A and B are shown apart, each in its own frame.
Chain A
Amino acid sequence: MLHTIIENRFAITAVILFVTGFVNMMVHPNLIKKVVSFNIMDSATFLMLASRGMIAGRTAAILTDGGADPSLYVNPIPAGLVLTGIVVSVSVSAFSLALIQRIYGVYGTVDMRELLEAMKKKGE
């Protein structure tokens, strides 16, 4: 059991990070903190993906002098996928932060509960 845990330490760390982000996203009433938790979840996914591409004793997939021998390099595919993920994560964070800034401009708060009351007041 301990052996498997040590062997899959990156996957387990990723799971713990992911769940941390998930709990925070659900429980925290502050919208900014929700975005932060969202980013933690993103990072957990990237850690998971990147660790899957690792192969012990090999180097990054940049063909320098070793030639094109696939047994010398790590798996390049997860790196490409993580790159895509990072770009999407940055875009989504920017968009949600812009939304939150607008919400703050209109209602003067980023707390979900206060926001609910402020919206009710504004509706009346």
Chain B
Amino acid sequence: MSAFDSFTKWVDGEKPVPLNTAFKPTPAKKEKKKPAAIDDKKRLDGFLKLYAKCAVVISVFLLIVLLIGAVALPAFASPGNPTNNEVVHRYVGSAEHETGAENVIAGMILNYRGFDTFGESCVLFLAVCCVMLLLWATNDKLRAEAAGSGKAAPRDAILQNVTKLVLPCILCFGMCVLFNGHVSPGGGFSGGSILGAALILFAVAFGAEAVQRFFTERVFNTVRITGLMIYALMFGVYIYQGANHIDSNLARYIVLVIDIAVGLVVMSTMYGFYSFYTKGEL
């Protein structure tokens, strides 16, 4: 009986599976007397050499293809580029009265592309969750080790005094960037990173215990979850109020609130990364 016939019979359910594919142990070859470990090592070395050569060949190929593509691109900085199409005209032309934001980019990423930015905030949220999951010092021994490595550095008088001087300025600048994101360069992401940097500087200068007085794990979780929820809520309000046809003053407040929410998420994420990398907990 041919293989095809048996297969069709098996499909029809007349016959059990023809088990001629079962693994048959091949007769053992005459084993060479070489130890297996050395053989393995040789094979690995050979593979790595081949791998390096292949990597270079693939990269050169990629370079050539991409260079041909780059040279064939339309001229740099010319207004007639296909990228400068009607979407740009629409965004720049109607961003101010549709989103209430003079900063077209802020209006664009928070209103027209609001779902995308929400996804971005979720990516940050998930990233800090993953870092937490991986680096959380699970037992007391690990925690003591991590704390020892963090606390070993002596507190520096110069650093502390400079921090006292500079920190208020950084905080003010961060707030300014955050709250004026819709009318000037800046916004939630940049403002949030500046505030996070201020927190990190404070933690470096005065020790993590100083930050822990007001930024505990509970506050950290509350801040980042509240940020995301405010974002979702305000974006829902924006959509249900008529999206692009919303009153421009209301839209301006919505942009501001969403910006602040994003800033909170980014700030807590930045400090969370620092804290988990240095001592394995908040």
Point out residues on A near B: beta carbons under 8 Å.
4-5, 7-12, 14-16, 18-19, 22-23, 26-27, 51-56, 60-64, 68-71, 73, 75-80, 83-84, 86-88, 90-92, 94-95, 97-99, 101-102, 113, 116
Contacts and interface: CB of A to CB of B under 8 A. Distances in A.
Contacts of A116: 44
B9 interface: no
Interface string B134-162: 11000000000000000000000000000
A65 to B, nearest CB: 10
Nearest to A101: B135
A61 B92 contact: yes
A101 B75 contact: no
A68 B94 contact: yes
A119 B55 CA distance: 24
A51 B76 CA distance: 7
Given A8-B73, A52-B81, A54-B77, A77 B88 contact: yes
A114 to B, nearest CB: 12
Main secondary structure of the interface of B (DSSP, over half): helix
B228 to A, nearest CB: 14
Contact of A60 (B77, B131, B185): B185
A87 B105 contact: no
Contacts of B134: 95, 98-99, 101-102
B266 to A, nearest CB: 8
Given A76-B108, A94-B127, A95-B131, A55 B66 contact: no
A27 B103 CA distance: 43
Given A54-B76, A87-B123, A68 B87 contact: no
B17 interface: no
Contacts of A99: 134
Given A15-B70, A55-B84, A98-B135, A87 B124 contact: yes
A90 B95 CA distance: 29
B120 A87 contact: yes
A91 B102 contact: no
Nearest to A11: B70
Given A56-B78, A62-B104, A75-B83, A95 B62 contact: no
B73 A11 contact: yes
Contacts of B124: 87, 90-91
B104 A73 contact: yes
B91 A76 contact: yes
Contacts of A12: 67, 70-71
Contacts of B87: 77
A22 B78 CA distance: 30
Given A55-B78, A55-B84, A19 B62 contact: yes
